[in-house]
Structure 1
Amino acid sequence: MSTPEPAGREELQARLQAELEQTMAAGILLQQAVADRLGLNLADFKCLTALSGMDAATAGDVAASTGLTTGAATRMIDRLERGGWVRREQDPGDRRKVIVRPVPERMAQIGPLFAGMSQAWAQALAEYDEDQIAMMLDLFRRMRRVAGQQAAMIREGS
């Protein structure tokens, strides 16, 4: 049996892009499973994911981080507040503003559902050195930025 020839750069890039697309699709399925377990729809769960990186946010911040209109973001916040996931507070600096804060006790329910994935990631990354992990980190940061830019262009009709 002959040894396959090494793939060229273009083929490797195409294979990497296909793998990334499938990885993103698998990630969405994982997030949907977590959302289902928590009794949330995927959009509301994604909102919680965005809020988990913030101490507090306005409805405008939620809209910007989810790609929703401010009206849709407000309805989402209403659902999450009814479910006990977030609470609204008056902004002490501007009484006209309402701040949305995640409820830590509810947010603590999310982490254990990702524990298996976190453990699997740690095992997979153990095979790579620090320079390789730093390169992957750079790649994922760039891809996240590109995805955001592309989503904005698509929404604008570009």
Structure 2
Amino acid sequence: MSSESEVSEARRRRRLTTAVKGALRDLRVQLSLLNYRVGDQIDLKDVDLDCLDIITQHGSLSPSGLARVTGLHPATMTGILDRLERGGWVLRERASKDRRAVTVRALRERNAELFRHYAGMNVLMDEICGSYSDAELELIADFLHRTSAAGRDATNQFAAD
């Protein structure tokens, strides 16, 4: 039989885990709202910003490759890329040998404009990170990387269904 302290410890652990999950939900909502506001300023939808971020992080991708990474329908991806290209955020390039092959790359000269819109959040993040030790930041970074990987795995489960 479990002792009273073991039961109390299990409850405490569940409460802490629930608090972490709640904080992650709150973070998701706040970042989503921030992206909505930034997107409104630069005339892009939230999903457009997500795709632009993926292209910026991963380098040039084919439209079908980007659709696979995001799980979006190719026709939806066409609309997103049209908006990004029209706004001067990306460029579609055709391969010289196979003119049907298209890659999409982010136009880096627009990065400064995007960074300006996120400057307030970046300053606040620097302040928050400044209050933690290196060891704590390593732990937080590990937690966030593992949480991100779990999110990818959960997303991929939808694609497999």
Would you say same fold, with TM above 0.5? yes
Residue 154 of structure 1 is matched in structure 2 by 158
Deviates more, 1:140-149 or 1:97-106: 97-106
Q: TM-score, normalised by structure 2?
A: 0.85
Q: 5+ residue gaps in structure 1?
A: none
Corresponding residue SS for 2:88: coil
Pairwise CA distance, 1:105: 2.2
Corresponding residue SS for 1:9: helix
Residue 141 of structure 1 is matched in structure 2 by 145
Q: Which amino acid aligns with 2:104?
A: V
Residue 89 of structure 2 is matched in structure 1 by 85
Q: 5+ residue gaps in structure 2?
A: 1-7
Residues 6-155 of structure 1 correspond to what in structure 2 (within 5 A)?
8-92=12-96, 94-155=98-159
1:8-63 CA-to-partner distances (Å, cap 9, x unmatched) read 22111111111111111111001111111111111111111111113311112211
CA contact 2:56–2:105 (8 Å) conserved in 1:
no
**2: CA distance, partners of 1:51 / 1:156:** 24
Q: Which amino acid aligns with 2:95?
A: D
Deviates more, 1:89-98 or 1:36-45: 89-98
**2: CA distance, partners of 1:93 / 1:153:** 37
Corresponding residue SS for 1:143: helix
The change in CA–CA distance for 1:149 and 1:93 in structure 2 (over 3 A counts) is farther
Pairwise CA distance, 1:136: 0.7
The change in CA–CA distance for 1:126 and 1:156 in structure 2 (over 3 A counts) is same
- Alignment length (residue pairs): 153
**2: CA distance, partners of 1:37 / 1:104:** 19
**1: CA distance, partners of 2:27 / 2:146:** 16
Higher relative contact order (CA 8 A, sep 6+): 2
**2: CA distance, partners of 1:55 / 1:94:** 20
Q: Which structure has greater helix proportion? A: 2
Pairwise CA distance, 1:70: 2.2
Q: TM-score, normalised by structure 1?
A: 0.87
Pairwise CA distance, 1:93: 6.5
**2: CA distance, partners of 1:29 / 1:69:** 24
